[in-house]
Amino acid sequence: MVSTSAPRSGVYYFSQGWKLITLPGIRRFVILPLLVNIVLMGGAFWWLFSELGNWIPALMGHVPDWLQWLSYLLWPIVVLSVLLVFGYFFSTITNWIAAPFSGLLAEQLEARLTGATPPDTGVLGVMKDVPRIMKREWQKLAWYLPRALILLVLYFIPGIGQTVAPVLWFLFSAWMMAIQYCDYPFDNHKVPFKTMREALRARKVTNMQFGALTSLFTMIPVLNLVILPVAICGATAMWVDCYRDKHALWK
């Protein structure tokens, strides 16, 4: 059982995710979201790395003359920006497809950590909830898109696009990753999306740490193939420690 004796950092919960995916009885619920992630993220990043050689010079062409002397520093920032945007875009698609299985993994892990019995446990129970789960994914997308589009526009402003925009995008991605993965246990208890966001804001530093690590690992080849179940397990451990007492529907 996860300890609730003291507040933990987002780094702690992220590291817990790596341990929890190996728990006996939990491993079988990891397999389906893991397979979805391997197929989609693996294929996407293979294609991305084959195209980076064309994209990076084109993006560097937007650097104004007065910043050309910094091009050797801006080049890695541009590469990281592409990886961040691309990584989050494809992780969003993966999360959509794997959402029912991700919710099931969060549910079963919570039951294991707390000893509680969830209602309608198992695959059949989750399948009944698919329409609600997809509606929730639409809510997240509707919240995310306008903010993401504003940040993407910044990338095309000379100077700002190569300096400020990557930092803002990383911070935004970290927050969105926290929302994405923490939402699975919240949604299993029918906690409204707005209420969930307010709860996460109350522990913003912890969630930003967790989301930042998730974003970084999404950019790392091979490790990004297993990040989906790891992040779900870490977020579920955080739910049990920090939010369950106040928001749980079943105990």
CA gap 53, 5 in Å, rounded = 50
For residues 91-111, give the mean pLDDT: 86
- The closest alpha carbon to 196, from 97, 89, 106, 101, belongs to 106
Structure tokens given for 194: 């707005």
Q: Is there a contact between 125 and 60 (Cβ–Cβ < 8 Å)?
A: no
How many of the other CB atoms lie within 10 Å of CB of 235?
32
- Quick: pLDDT tens for 119-174: 765 566 667 778 888 889 899 989 988 998 898 888 777 767 767 888 888 899 89
Q: How much of the chain exceeds pLDDT 90, in percent? A: 38
Q: How far is CA 27 from CA 164, 175, 220, in A?
A: 41, 27, 23
Cα of 73 vs its chain's centroid, Å: 28
CA gap 239, 249 in Å, rounded = 13
Per-residue pLDDT for 4 more than 60? no
Which comes out higher in pLDDT, residue 224 or 61? 224
- The closest alpha carbon to 83, from 207, 169, 179, 176, belongs to 169
